[in-house]
Amino acid sequence: AVDSSNNDTRFTRNSIRQQLIPELTRYQPELIEMLGRLSDHFREENGLIETMAEEWVAGNLKKNRAGEYMVDIRPLKTLHRALVKRIIRGVIKRHKSSLHGIDSNHVQQIFDLLFNPRPNITINLPENNIIRKEYSNLVFSFSESGSAPFYYEIRGNGEICIHEISRTIRVQELIKSQAISPVTDTDTALLDKKRLSYPLVIRNFWPGDRFMPLGMKGHRKLKDFFIDLKIPAQARKKIPVVLKGDQIIWVGGYRIDDRFKVTPETEEIVKISLV
């Protein structure tokens, strides 16, 4: 079967392949070959930086008495910034086995710690992980208590597997002319697209979370919402919470936020499914 979406130039990748590249090759017939060579160079240089970072981490990463990973800032500051950022990623990946929830902004924040004149400073990463500068040391404190925390982002149509709870979040954008049957499945949410913006964040419940449950006009603490439904504390940590920025739009499997519901004025719909 052929995926008809591959021909839809509303998608950036298709527009580039079908419109932009043919137009550019009119001016530079060797464009494809040049891009291929550039890609080869990038792979080679990327492989070199990755190897250098792995070797540095293997030779310099230590643990303190609390079992936290720690590196000496002084030799780290003498390295090229690109290598330092790769080392930061390497330390995180060594412990967590993946970089889910960690983006370039987080890495930049950690990099900036190295040159901050303050002797003691802390930043918080997703999943309750903490990075601390303690004088000449950079300390990586990774949370391991309770159920595994998770933090993912999705940037449009598609799906993402939440390995920590063995569930998948699927996002579909639908136009008004498409048939929409009433939702009776609690694992599906229909939301007004114009009230949303990407990326959507998918994470577990955090203390202090609040939202406006469908049908209500006031905010409610998510913890109280769970208590009313008699959901055990441990089970709450496995419920995916979907957000736009810092606003909860759906408590996966339970309730959407009233501010994002579909109304008669809705023109485009975002369907989010928990499978």
Q: Residue 87 class from Cβ within 10 Å (0-12 exposed, 13-18 middle, 19+ buried)? A: buried
pLDDT at 256: 94
Better-scored residue on pLDDT, 252 or 149: 252
pLDDT at 158: 93
Please tell me whether the peptide bond between 119 and the residue prior to it is cis, using omega within 30 degrees of 0: no
C-alpha span between 134 and 246 (Å, rounded): 30
Q: What pTM, to 2 d.p., does this model score?
A: 0.48
- Other beta carbons within 10 Å of 243: 19
The confidence band for 71, taking pLDDT boundaries of 50, 70 and 90, is: very high
pLDDT, tens digit, 9 for 90 and up, residues 174-190: 986 664 555 557 789 99
Choosing among 3.90.550.10, 3.90.650.10, 3.30.465.60, 3.40.640.10, the CATH entry for 61-141 is 3.30.465.60
Provide CB contacts within 8 A for 71, sequence distance 6+.
60, 61, 62, 87, 91, 137, 138
Helix ranges (DSSP H) in 152-258: 222-228, 233-236
What whole-number percentage of the chain has pLDDT above 90?
A: 46
pLDDT, tens digit, 9 for 90 and up, residues 222-251: 999 998 888 767 678 889 999 999 999 999
pLDDT, tens digit, 9 for 90 and up, residues 107-148: 999 999 999 999 888 888 887 788 989 889 998 887 654 457
Among 135, 24, 46, 84, which Cα is nearest to 33's? 24
How much is the mean pLDDT over the chain?
A: 86
pLDDT, tens digit, 9 for 90 and up, residues 91-110: 988 776 567 788 999 999 99
Among 179, 85, 197, 73, which Cα is nearest to 132's? 73
The confidence band for 72, taking pLDDT boundaries of 50, 70 and 90, is: very high
Looking at the chain, which residues constitute the CATH 3.30.465.60 domain(s)? 61-141
